[in-house]
Every structure is written in C-alpha cells, then in structure tokens.
C-alpha cells in the first residue's frame, strides 16, 4: 500500500463521511439542535437499499435514489411530529431525546433485520480494481468519490446560487433577523432537515460496503458525525467538508501505520483540535 493509495482511500472515506454528516452540520447550525440520532437515518437508507437490491433485485443505482427518498420522508415525518417540539429546549433534553431515538432505532432494526452485518450485492462492474497511472484504484471507492464529489458541488451550487440557498444561509446566520425579513424559517428548516436525512440515507447506502451495515451503525458512527460537525464548525459547508477529508485520511492512515492503536488516532486528533480551537477548525463564529 503506497502513500497514494492511503490518500485515495482516505479521500473516499472522508467524502462519504461528508455526505453522511453534512445534514447534521446544517441542522446544528440552523436550529442549534443537537441531533445524536442522525446515524439512524443513514442506517434507514442503508437497509432500504439492501432490501431493495438483495430481495427485490433492483439495480444498485436505482436503489440509491429510493434510499434517499425514504430516509428524507422518514426525516420529514419525524421532524414535523417530534423534533420541532424540542427546538426551544435545553441541550440536555435534546441529547436525551435523540439518544432515546437511537436506542429505539437500534433495537427495532435488530428486531426486523437481525443483528448480523448486512451486505449489499454490488454489480460486477463496481468490484475489483482498475489502474490509473499505475495506481491500483478500487472501482467502488472511485465511484464513491465521483458521486460524493458531484453531490458536494451540487450542494455548494444550491447554497450559493439558488434562492432557497440564500434563504437558508440567512437563516443560519441569524434566524431572528431572517424571520423578520419574511423568511419562513421553520419551513426552511423542515426542508433542510429532510434533505439532510435523505443525504444521510444515501450515504448509508453507499457506505454499507466500506463502513459496514448493522443495527449498531448509529452508535458506532455517532462520534464520527459529531467530529465532522464540531471540528468543521456549522457555519458553512466548506468547514465540514474539509473536516471530513481530514478525518477520513487521518483514520485510514492511522489504521494503516499504527494498527495497534486503531481508532485512538482520530479521538486524540479530535480532542486536540477541540482543545486548541473549541469552536472548530473552520468555525467562523462562536457556537451559540
């Protein structure tokens, strides 16, 4: 394994984390809502995709958008029925509530899908490696980089060019002033929340191959999502993006060079960064 391969795998991993976590970054920045249950939506997407591909025989690429839609629908439903009652509550309440959701989703998935790892049957053309400039590159990881890269660009375009994007940015900057200007902040938030959940669902489906998919997914990756958000800051999309890449590369390199320490590397990295800059590496303003 060369340095380049590590870098490549790390970038693929990081981009995946970004797609998984960017919804969380926006919800945290917009409503100051600590949502520890974000991984549950990712898991939903992963299992939807697995069921569609493995049992119904749908092509992988057709199942991805469905995973997105189902997760987004579940997110929208929960946002409208449960989450919105908690925006004004203390962080402690939000943490407790979302931990409760995580526990429920973990055991419910265990009940319905079994506790073992689930694999999504991949089409043949996504397996194996191809050579690019003499570098052995996993096809699946290459696809992840392409898809996630396109998604990131699309997100950036939506945020910076569309009317909805500017409304969203205004609402993140100052929700009170934004609603004073006639922006329907709760609506913007509900849409963003559902979209973020959808992205997470798609990330879960894409990541099943690399991250693994089992009922404990929300617990295992909660810390990763939180690292992305806290290190990246929640005021823009570039921060979480860079943080995801850093985390992905750091994790892959750490596991390769010092396998004995395992996940130790990234936890240490996170703590050091948070001590050094409590509001995140790329945070513009202090967290509210």
Partner 1 sequence: MTVSETLRSQVGTFAVARGRWHWPEAVFWGLAVACVFLFPNRYLILTEIAWLALFALSLDLILGYAGIVSLGHAAFFGFGGYAAGLLALHHIVDEPVLALIVAGLAAMALGFVTSFLVMRGSDLTRLMVTLGIALLLRELANRFSNITGGSDGLQGIEMAPILGTWSFDIFGKVGFIYCLCVLFVLFLLARRIVHSPFGLSLRAIRNNPLRASAIGIPVNRRLIAIYTIAAFFAGVAGALSTQTTALASLDGFAFDRSADLMLVLIIGGTGYLYGGLIGAVIFKLLQELFSTLTPQYWQFWIGLVLVVIVLIGRERMHRWALYLPNLVMRRFGAKAPIVLPEGDAT
| Interacting residues toward partner 1 by CB under 8 A | 28, 34, 82, 85-86, 89-93, 95-97, 99-108, 110-111, 219, 222-223, 226-227, 230, 260-264, 267-268, 270-271, 274-275, 278-279, 286-288
The residue among 138 and 232 lying less far from partner 1, judged by its C-beta, is 232
The residue among 137 and 226 lying less far from partner 1, judged by its C-beta, is 226
- Minimum gap (Å) between residue 15 Cβ and partner 1: 22
The residue among 63 and 231 lying less far from partner 1, judged by its C-beta, is 231
Residues 211 and 213: their CA atoms lie apart, in Å, by 7
- Minimum gap (Å) between residue 61 Cβ and partner 1: 34
- Minimum gap (Å) between residue 141 Cβ and partner 1: 25
- Minimum gap (Å) between residue 267 Cβ and partner 1: 4
Radius of gyration (C-alpha) of the chain in whole angstroms: 19
∠ CA 107-30-236, nearest 5°, is 105
- Minimum gap (Å) between residue 157 Cβ and partner 1: 29
Residues 277 and 283: their CA atoms lie apart, in Å, by 9
The residue among 142 and 219 lying less far from partner 1, judged by its C-beta, is 219
∠ CA 184-190-196, nearest 5°, is 130
Q: What is the DSSP track for 74-110?
A: HHHHHHHHTGGGGTTS-HHHHHHHHHHHHHHHHHHHH
- Minimum gap (Å) between residue 191 Cβ and partner 1: 23
The residue among 42 and 78 lying less far from partner 1, judged by its C-beta, is 78
Measure Cα distances from 132 to 122, 137, 138, 149, 246 in Å: 22, 7, 10, 18, 23
* Residue of 222, 286, 267 lying closest to 34 (CA atoms): 222
The residue among 129 and 279 lying less far from partner 1, judged by its C-beta, is 279
E strands, 50-177, where? 129-132, 135-138
């Amino acid at each position: 394994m060369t340095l380049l391969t590590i870098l490549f795998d790390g970038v693929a991993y990081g981009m995946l984390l970004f797609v998984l976590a960017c919804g969380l970054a926006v919800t945290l920045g917009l409503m100051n809502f600590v949502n520890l249950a974000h991984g549950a939506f990712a898991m939903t997407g992963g299992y939807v995709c697995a069921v569609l591909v493995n049992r119904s025989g749908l092509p992988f690429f057709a199942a991805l958008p469905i995973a997105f839609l189902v997760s987004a629908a579940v997110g929208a439903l929960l946002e409208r029925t449960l989450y919105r009652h908690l925006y004004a509550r203390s962080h402690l309440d939000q943490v407790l509530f979302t931990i409760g959701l995580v526990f429920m989703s973990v055991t419910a998935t265990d009940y319905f899908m079994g506790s073992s790892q689930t694999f999504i049957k991949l089409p043949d053309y996504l397996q194996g490696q191809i050579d690019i400039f003499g570098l052995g590159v996993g096809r699946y990881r290459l696809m992840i980089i392409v898809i996630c890269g396109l998604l990131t660009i699309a997100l950036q375009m939506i945020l910076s060019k569309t009317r909805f994007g500017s409304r969203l940015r205004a609402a993140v900057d100052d929700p009170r002033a934004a609603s004073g200007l006639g922006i329907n902040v709760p609506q913007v938030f509900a849409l963003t929340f559902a979209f973020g959940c959808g992205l997470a669902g798609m990330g879960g489906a894409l990541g099943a191959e690399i991250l693994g998919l089992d009922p404990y997914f929300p617990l295992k990756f909660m810390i990763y999502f939180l690292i992305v958000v806290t290190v990246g800051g929640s005021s823009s999309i570039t921060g979480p993006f860079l943080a995801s890449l850093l985390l992905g590369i750091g994790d892959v390199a750490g596991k390769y060079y010092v396998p004995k320490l395992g996940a130790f590397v990234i936890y240490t990295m996170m703590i050091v960064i948070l001590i050094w800059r409590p509001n995140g590496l790329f945070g513009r303003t202090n967290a509210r």
